[in-house]
Amino acid sequence: MFKYSKLSILALATAGMFSACSKLDQDPQSSLSDKDAVTEANARILANGMYSRMQTLEYYGRDFMVVSDLGGVDMKITSQNSSRFLNEFQLLYTPLVAPQSNTFLNAYRVVNQANVLINQIAENSNTSSIRGEAYFMRALANFDLARRYCRPYSNEKAQTVGVNSPNTGIALVTTSVSDPNAYKPSRSTLEETYNAIIADLKVAQEKAPTSTPGKSGVFKGSKDAATALLSRAYLAMKSWDNVITESSKLIGKYELYKASEVVNIFNADGATSEEIFSVRNTVNNGLGSNNFGYIYVAQANGGYGDIRLTEGFMKLFEENDARKGQILPLDNGANNYLMKFSGNLAQGQVGLVNVRVLRISEVLLNRAEAYNEKGDLGLAVADVNSLRANRGLTPFVSSNQDDIRAEIKKQRRIELVGEGFGMFDLFRKNDTRDIPDANALRSSELKPSGDKVAYPIPQTEIDTNPNMVQNPGY
């Protein structure tokens, strides 16, 4: 990497570094080096490389999801820790300290690999669906970058500043770069960022392969994955009619987990009924003590047990909620450990699981929120009760919009805990981050208008790219 030492992180990500091979068991391929031609014959290898980039530690291997949840109010770090994620939890991150720069790098590497497929592979009957996967993956990586380095679209400060204001979005990279030394992109507006994500997902809806619930196709980008991500993007923009339209295409096709399945289903070896898009992990790409769930699993069960659930989160549960079985309370309930991702027994590693990126429970709650905000209260309650019935709960009854809003928020927190929604959901809803637990490390209150709602652009990018503008407050 020495020859690139004066390049920005973003330029490094677009320097033609093809991922050598796929580590995905369902479609193993031989390696492809930088010197190999980009041809139709190599398209699948290049596509597999996109998924391999996602498996890296600092992206969906662990850190992206963990940091996204630590920035919310449902997880905490106590004095009993292994010194991981302390700056992120305590909001001490700066452009030089814990900037998650490798997340920035690897997300843009996914974008670059997608661009190679989109721009350099001729489209025909053999390559069209692969290029559709690339459009989905580019949209997902761009959305992830926006979630980490930009304010949520509906955040009060984003709306006050204006979603069309300069440098509020990410750097949108749509070409495969031949000369990284000269590559100095600037940031888009937040509206341009979301418009680009939506445009890519609409192409993916047309071109990406079809998938079947519970089958291995959920480990690749698909038409349904694009639809689910559109539902999430439109939710972030408060585009309620579009949320309902896209969500309704999937609801009924994918079966909700039953209450009896909930405790262990996230440790299943293969695809499960709710999954729409997941990152497949096996012993071949396992990260040992850095496996996704290892950070949550209690030391008594072989993990670090660094990240625990807050008192506020534990108070959300109703009696008979099957999801309580995902939690291990120790020390007379003083410490509550998330065992949702304790590890796939078939693979034999603590914390090694397939990482759910998109699943039908989220889509259902997206639609419930959209119905409620439109004033279709009965339809919102019906969606909430579909989930509640499959989590061992009695029906929720209310005709009050605020009460329904609170119930949807509660169900999102319980259902999606550990799946990377904590910080984004908190600040798109303009709530305040405050964790008063006595045994939590001290962390400053963060209001939705606070600068640290958006992470800093890594300092290397600022130093080497004169067109890159840092986020306010850093």
For the segment 349-392, what is each residue's pLDDT rounded down to a tens digit? 999 999 999 999 999 999 999 999 999 999 999 999 999 999 99
Assess contact for 400 and 376: CB atoms under 8 A.
no
State how far Cα 64 lies from the chain centre.
7
Provide the pLDDT confidence category of residue 39 given band limits of 50, 70 and 90: confident
First to last CA, the chain: 28
- Judging by DSSP bridges, how do beta strands 327-330 and 355-359 pair with one another? unpaired
Assess contact for 15 and 26: CB atoms under 8 A.
no
Q: In the block, which residue shows the tokens 């940031």? A: 187
Q: Which CATH number fits domain 8-76+85-208+445-465: 1.20.1060.10, 3.30.1300.10, 1.25.40.390, 1.10.1040.10?
A: 1.25.40.390
pLDDT in tens, 267-277: 999 999 999 99
Residue ranges, CATH 1.25.40.390, the chain: 8-76+85-208+445-465, 209-420
Assess contact for 443 and 435: CB atoms under 8 A.
yes
What are the two backbone dihedrals, phi and then psi, of residue 347, each rounded to the nearest 5 degrees? -95, -20
Provide the pLDDT confidence category of residue 82 given band limits of 50, 70 and 90: very high
What are the two backbone dihedrals, phi and then psi, of residue 397, each rounded to the nearest 5 degrees? -125, 120
Assess contact for 73 and 312: CB atoms under 8 A.
yes
User: Which H or E run contains 224?
Assistant: helix 223-236
Rounded CA separation 256/191 (Å): 33
- Indicate if the pLDDT at residue 63 is higher than 90: yes
| Nearest-10 Cα torsion for 44, 24, 139, 184 | -80
CATH topology of domain 209-420: 1.25.40
- Indicate if the pLDDT at residue 289 is higher than 70: yes
pLDDT of residue 4: 44
